[in-house]
Chain A
């Protein structure tokens, strides 16, 4: 299962701005609800987070040491 960015649907107003910015086509509107398609192709570029005017989509990082 591929980790994906997180969408807070309470914040999202389905403006769809994030859809064209995503280079791997992971973001789609399904019945007017923004939905993430799981894919390893998402390179965590964070551009969806950057463009979202409502901070509804976030790309959080896990921080680990190499030897863990």
Chain B
């Protein structure tokens, strides 16, 4: 089966390629099909090939220790998967599964690296692809941690407000709150800013003043 150049043309790695260059670059690619639900790549395993989605949709996901699946990305026609392990030679950061029947164009990692060496444009394009990934993942991290953490931060504030009853006030650093909420310090910082913007608390130097207890309580209920 021949690789469809119309699809390769849409691939970000080949942006700016002339038709001749594209024809030449297409040579090492082979076609591979996967049934719905089939695993294309497994997290923590080494990747032999980089794939371009020629038809269908591929789900990229991670599985937590307790078996929960977190979708990282859905790759559509023209998008590539397994770029990161092919480029750095380390295991797959995520698993890939065919969400519907999928046709892929694969290229062996040695051939892919040779292609990047041969065409400086492709290397340039690769930087852009990886930068886009980082942006996407950063946004994901924010969503994942943030929406739920804000409720936990609200709970911590309510719990520690007013001290221990014996007259001494609790003093918590953002690091302390992060450890309690199971998140990063940066996320706590942003949660506090958001709670302040919502008018639930006010920050007065080293003092966090709870101005709207009810709002914090609602935050706990809606965020979990």
Interface residues of A, Cβ cutoff 8 Å to B: 3, 40, 42-44, 46, 49-50, 55, 58-66, 68
15 CB contacts below 8 A, A to B, read: A44-B206, A49-B175, A60-B171, A60-B176, A61-B171, A61-B172, A61-B174, A62-B169, A62-B171, A64-B161, A64-B209, A65-B162, A65-B210, A66-B210, A68-B162
User: Is B64 located at the chain interface by the 8 A CB criterion?
Assistant: no
- Whether A61 and B161, one on each chain, are in contact in the complex, defined by CB atoms closer than 8 angstroms, is no
- Give B40-63 as 1s and 0s: 1 = Cβ < 8 Å from A's Cβ atoms: 000000000000000000000000
User: Is B170 located at the chain interface by the 8 A CB criterion?
Assistant: yes
- Give B165-189 as 1s and 0s: 1 = Cβ < 8 Å from A's Cβ atoms: 0000111111110000000010001
Residues on A with beta carbons closer than 8 Å to the beta carbon of B208: 61-64
- Whether B189 and A46, one on each chain, are in contact in the complex, defined by CB atoms closer than 8 angstroms, is yes
Residues on A with beta carbons closer than 8 Å to the beta carbon of B135: none
- Whether A66 and B209, one on each chain, are in contact in the complex, defined by CB atoms closer than 8 angstroms, is yes
Complex CA–CA separation, A46 to B160 (angstroms): 20
Tell me the chain B residues, 192-206 only, with Cβ under 8 Å from chain A: 202-203, 205-206
Complex CA–CA separation, A26 to B162 (angstroms): 29
- Whether B185 and A50, one on each chain, are in contact in the complex, defined by CB atoms closer than 8 angstroms, is yes
Residues on A with beta carbons closer than 8 Å to the beta carbon of B149: none
Complex CA–CA separation, A60 to B207 (angstroms): 9
Residues on A with beta carbons closer than 8 Å to the beta carbon of B185: 50
Contact of A58 among B162, B175, B209 (CB under 8 A): B175
The SS class assigned to the A binding surface is loop
User: Is B213 located at the chain interface by the 8 A CB criterion?
Assistant: yes
Complex CA–CA separation, A65 to B157 (angstroms): 10
User: Is B32 located at the chain interface by the 8 A CB criterion?
Assistant: no
- Whether B209 and A44, one on each chain, are in contact in the complex, defined by CB atoms closer than 8 angstroms, is no
Complex CA–CA separation, A41 to B70 (angstroms): 44
Q: A46-B189, A50-B185, A68-B162 are in contact. Are A62 and B175 (CB under 8 A)?
A: no
Q: Which 10 A-B pairs have the closest CB atoms?
A: A60-B171, A63-B161, A44-B205, A66-B211, A58-B173, A3-B206, A60-B173, A61-B208, A62-B169, A63-B208
- Whether B210 and A64, one on each chain, are in contact in the complex, defined by CB atoms closer than 8 angstroms, is yes
Closest Cβ of chain A to B165, distance in Å, is: 13
- Whether A63 and B205, one on each chain, are in contact in the complex, defined by CB atoms closer than 8 angstroms, is no
Closest Cβ of chain B to A68, distance in Å, is: 7
Closest Cβ of chain A to B126, distance in Å, is: 32
Complex CA–CA separation, A60 to B173 (angstroms): 4
Residues on A with beta carbons closer than 8 Å to the beta carbon of B205: 3, 40, 42-44
